[in-house]
């Protein structure tokens, strides 16, 4: 009888330990940090389409800015009448921004309630899927810039010249959003894995 009481007292003391002391759990600061990483990434991804994706530069040209397009596929005003509309990467970036924002809000609300394995698994899946989607968008931005440069270099007036691509704010903001999203997701996944190992 005494041993039973001793075990129950020990288990109750374990349950009463602060969240930061329980193996594999994130404290209040860690929870805010993970959510903040996703939210900052969401804001950066939402702002990125309003900036240029790239600018093509011809060395020796009197005009430094030869050609370019922003995240909504809009070319500069002086070129918009002769060129078609470019890809609307802003749609994909806004989808990623919405996904990161939902991850952050869901994670914060979930931490306030009881731990549910299914909900934790869904959060981890989202924490992996959304940054992967954002990485795909960033890769597409850069591939589009390189392909456009190659196509631009085939113009008779430009053929033979070296054309450089200067990445614009759309790419840099998207990369920064990806870094924030990946950082927050890595912390969450590592913590979840540690929690799973500690329960075995």
Report pLDDT for 73: 86
Tokens 């940054």 label which residue?
Answer: 131
As to burial, measured by CB atoms within 10 angstroms (0-12 exposed, 13-18 middle, 19+ buried), residue 87 is middle
Report pLDDT for 93: 97
Dihedral angle sign, alpha carbons of residues 20, 108, 45, 185 = positive
Residues 6+ apart with CB under 8 A from 48: 71, 90, 93, 169, 170, 171, 173, 174, 177
Report pLDDT for 131: 96
As to burial, measured by CB atoms within 10 angstroms (0-12 exposed, 13-18 middle, 19+ buried), residue 45 is buried
Q: Tens-digit pLDDT profile for the chain (200 aa)?
A: 445 444 444 444 444 444 434 334 556 777 889 999 999 999 999 999 999 998 887 766 655 555 678 899 887 755 444 556 778 999 999 999 999 999 999 888 877 655 555 567 888 899 999 999 999 999 999 999 888 888 777 776 666 567 778 899 999 999 999 999 999 999 998 887 776 544 44
CB 123 within 8 A of CB 107: yes
Residues 6+ apart with CB under 8 A from 94: 45, 46, 49
Please state which CATH number belongs to domain 29-198. 1.20.140
Report pLDDT for 55: 84
State the CB neighbour count (10 A cutoff) for residue 26: 21
Report pLDDT for 122: 83
57 φ, ψ (degrees, to nearest 5): -125, 130
What is the residue extent of each domain of the chain? Answer: 29-198
CB 45 within 8 A of CB 134: yes
Report pLDDT for 23: 38
């Amino acid at each position: 009888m005494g041993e039973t009481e001793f075990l129950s007292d020990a288990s109750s003391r374990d349950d009463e330990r602060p969240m930061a002391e329980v193996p594999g759990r994130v404290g209040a600061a860690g929870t805010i940090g993970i959510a903040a990483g996703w939210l900052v990434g969401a804001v950066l991804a939402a702002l990125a389409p309003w900036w240029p994706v790239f600018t093509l530069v011809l060395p020796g040209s009197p005009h430094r800015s030869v050609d370019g397009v922003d995240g909504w596929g809009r070319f500069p005003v002086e070129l918009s009448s002769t060129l078609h509309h470019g890809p609307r990467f802003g749609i994909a970036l806004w989808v990623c921004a919405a996904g990161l924002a939902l991850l952050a809000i869901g994670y914060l609300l979930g931490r306030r309630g009881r731990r549910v394995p299914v909900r934790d698994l869904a959060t981890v899946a989202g924490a992996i899927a959304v940054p992967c989607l954002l990485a795909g968008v960033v890769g597409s931005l850069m591939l589009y810039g390189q392909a456009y440069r190659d196509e631009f270099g085939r113009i008779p007036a430009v053929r033979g010249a070296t054309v450089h691509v200067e990445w614009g704010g759309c790419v840099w903001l998207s990369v920064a959003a990806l870094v924030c999203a990946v950082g927050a997701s890595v912390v969450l996944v590592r913590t979840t894995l540690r929690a799973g190992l500690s329960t075995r």
